[in-house]
Amino acid sequence: MAAPIFEINALKHEYAGRTVLEIEHLGIRPASIVGLIGPNGSGKSTLLKMIGLIEKPTKGEIQFNGHKVEPFSEEARFRITLLPQEPFLMKRNVFANVTYGLKLRGGGGSLMKKAHKALAMVGLEGDEFLQRPWYALSGGEAQRVALAARLALKPTVLLLDEPTASVDAGSAQLIKEAALRARQASGTTLVIASHDLQWLFEICDEVLHLFKGKILGKGRETVIFGPWHELSAGQWGKVLPDAQLLRVPAPPNPEAPALIDLLPAVTEPVPETDELNRLKGTVSRLSLEKKTGHVFATVLVGGHPFTLRMATNQKERPHIYPGDTISVHYRIDQVKWV
Amino acid sequence: MDFLFDGFIQAFALLLSGNAETYSAIKVTLMVSSYSLGCSLVIGIPLGFGLGYFTFRGKKSIRTVVDTLMALPTVFIGLLVYAFLTHRGPLGDFGLLFTLPGIAVGQTILALPIVIGLSATAVESMDNKLRLAIMSMGANRRQLFLTSLWEVRHGLLAGSIAAYGRVMTEVGISMMVGGNIKWHTRTITTAIALETNKGQFGMGVALGLVLLIIAFGVNISVSFLRRRY
């Protein structure tokens, strides 16, 4: 296996004394696509800023290709680029924005040609857009120009922070396609923070679930917040809005968030036992993880979206469709506490 | 009030006839104010950038001091600079009293807090996302500084214009440090004061109009630069 392009060890970052990110170890393989999911404030953007070398972590170190790096490191500053969530362009025309990074790098070739090519990657016509000032662009166009400015650099690592959050559906599709084309064409490593779980599960080699600044798992778990009530001696749980009981082991405190990973779907009915909690839910969406061939179903249980993995073998896979009511299960002793 | 009307007529007559005394005062004013503005920009913009960009202990106190110094009375600066540059003063050996560089020193002190304060305000109003955008494109520290400055260019320009207006129109420093020596250190403002004392209101109004014309020219140029960049 290739050595990781990024390796993070014992990283901790604080804002005004409050810990916002704490990662014991994380490795990212070259030319892979890594997705980051988690609620707002979970540390996704902070993690991207750390590996994008925009901010220095309070503690710990980040290695890029085996070298310790920090903001302005010569080994990395021309090879990593980050596209922030909100489109931001400098107060210059589109040409100056798209070629800014190229000018910093020097090098030969026609800037005009490169700018045309980069804009074409995000579905914009160079002749129409290159001379436009920054204020004469829509939000979606500005975000695409910002992405074009980064794609023009042919980066080794492209970090995307919710790239489609504040743009229309058409722009979002073009941004998604452009990012994937960059990976195909130049072997760019992509790290993408997004709330578009379906997209991430479709394209990513690995999806990391962040919560309160920590990596909880590989992204298929559901976080359920307290309060938890003691039902009987040693038995804890909470009643969901649809009156179903969610049983959990004893929590560290009654408010602790629980991390629940459903057991894979099976065709045979499974009885509820002391170890196994069964819940009924409605299938809201089916998606395919291209890399593994797994089909995933999003199942709404009492308003909470759970992810259910189906067997790869077609014979063992239950035939379910969005709108179906199905039973899902999890092992109570495998519930993790955040 | 006829003298005002006469003043306007006289102003155009002085300017159009190429009156040597008037043009000497204009030249001295432009030279000395350009020296002082140049110095205050070179020193003040980096300091203002630092004050606006970085967070450090005592920043608020420094900001208060700078804001207070923006209102420094020109006669007070004139007095201090005179005391330092006079033969008995600590900088007397430099022989700067009653010279243009002497006036420029005083005017730089006058303009510096304005440049620092308004640059800091421009930098503080800079979008937080700018730093991220510049760094994510691979800029080093120097490029980050220069690009950030360019992005707040309109704010810096406004600060420079305010400072230029202040140094061009001050009387106290030019009078006390320059001595209002004809053909040598007489500026437009000291000439106006002198002519008014002599009862030559027309000449005073004429020179005042010249100041206005210069200010108008500067503002036209700035508007052009803003549109162009």
Asked whether the predicted pLDDT for residue B37 surpasses 90, the reply is yes
Asked whether the predicted pLDDT for residue B127 surpasses 90, the reply is no
What rounded mean pLDDT belongs to chain B?
A: 91
Chains A–B, number of C-beta pairs less than 8 Å apart: 55
CA A274 – CA A264 distance, rounded (Å): 19
Nearest-5° angle of CA B205, CA B209, CA B212? 140
Q: Name the residue among B137, B80, B73, B122 with its Cα closest to residue B105.
A: B80
Which residues of chain A make contact with B135, given a CB cutoff of 8 A?
52-54, 71-72, 77
Q: Name the residue among A280, A282, A275 with its Cα closest to residue A247.
A: A275
A217 pLDDT band, cuts 50/70/90, is confident
Give how far B65 is from chain A: nearest CA, Å. 27
CA A281 – CA A272 distance, rounded (Å): 15
B44-88 per-position pLDDT tens digit: 999 999 999 999 999 999 999 999 999 999 999 999 999 999 988
Q: Which domains does chain B have, with CATH numbers?
A: 25-186 (1.10.3720.10)
A87 touching B, CB under 8 A?
no
Nearest-Cα residue of chain B relative to residue A55: B132
Find the mean pLDDT for residues B173-198. 93
A267 pLDDT band, cuts 50/70/90, is low
Give how far A202 is from chain B: nearest CA, Å. 27
Asked whether the predicted pLDDT for residue A114 surpasses 90, the reply is yes
Cβ–Cβ gap A84/B136 under 8 Å: yes
B140 touching A, CB under 8 A?
yes
- The answer to whether the bond into A227 is cis (omega within 30° of 0) is yes
Residue B177 DSSP symbol: I
| Amino acid symbol at B61 | S
A41-72 per-position pLDDT tens digit: 889 999 999 999 999 999 999 999 999 999 99
Cβ–Cβ gap B138/A78 under 8 Å: yes
Question: Residue A147, Cβ neighbours under 10 Å: how many?
Answer: 28
Find the mean pLDDT for residues A270-287. 84
Residue A240 DSSP symbol: -
- Rg of the Cα atoms in chain A: 23
Find the mean pLDDT for residues A100-125. 92
CA A142 – CA A327 distance, rounded (Å): 45
pTM of the prediction? 0.78
- Looking at the DSSP bridge assignments, the partners of residue A283 are A299
Q: Is this prediction's ipTM beyond 0.85? A: no
Q: Provide the 3-class DSSP secondary structure of residue A245.
A: strand
Q: Determine the distance from the C-alpha atom of residue B15 to the mean position of all C-alpha atoms in its chain, rounded to a whole number.
A: 24
**B window 96-135, beta carbon within 8 A of A:** 127, 129-135
Question: Residue A25, Cβ neighbours under 10 Å: how many?
Answer: 11
B179 pLDDT band, cuts 50/70/90, is very high
CA A154 – CA A151 distance, rounded (Å): 5
